[in-house]
Amino acid sequence: MFTPFKITGHLSIGKETLTIPLEGNEFSYSKYLKSEPAYIFFDQESRDRNTVVVVKDAKLVGELMENSYGMEYFVSNEKSDFLIAVNWYVIEVAGSAIESLNKLN
């Protein structure tokens, strides 16, 4: 399990993460993820903190979020073996997704 450093504002995982520049990767990073369901969730202190968007293929997350420019969000999978935080500045990656996304660093 992961314990994010910031769950509101500029979302951040904090410890033991791979940090990828947002510029040039914001809408394309997910193409490097495994083809599996992904769970997108947002600010964890707002009234919709229990809202989760399920995407059938994690590779499509970037394409989906391209229509929501500037949104900060977390992404995980059913096993919760990775956590990704996308904020206004960087993409932070923890867990098993580090291996897939390391080439973007």
Q: What is the DSSP letter of 65?
A: H
The Cα–Cα gap between 41 and 48 comes to 9
User: Range of 100's domain?
Assistant: 18-104
Does residue 40 form part of some domain?
A: yes
pLDDT (tens digit per residue) in 42-72: 877 777 778 899 999 999 999 999 988 788 8
Torsion of CA 95, 68, 51, 20, to 10 degrees: 10
Look at residue 33 and tell me if it is in a domain.
yes
Instruction: Say how many domains are in the chain.
Output: 1
This prediction's pTM: 0.90
Asked whether residue 60 is assigned to any structural domain, the reply reads yes
Three-state secondary structure call for residue 98: helix
**48 domain residue, yes or no:** yes
Mean residue pLDDT of the chain comes to: 90
Quote the radius of gyration of the chain (alpha carbons, Å): 12
Q: For residue 85, is it within any domain?
A: yes
Determine contact, residues 18/55, Cβ cutoff 8 Å: no
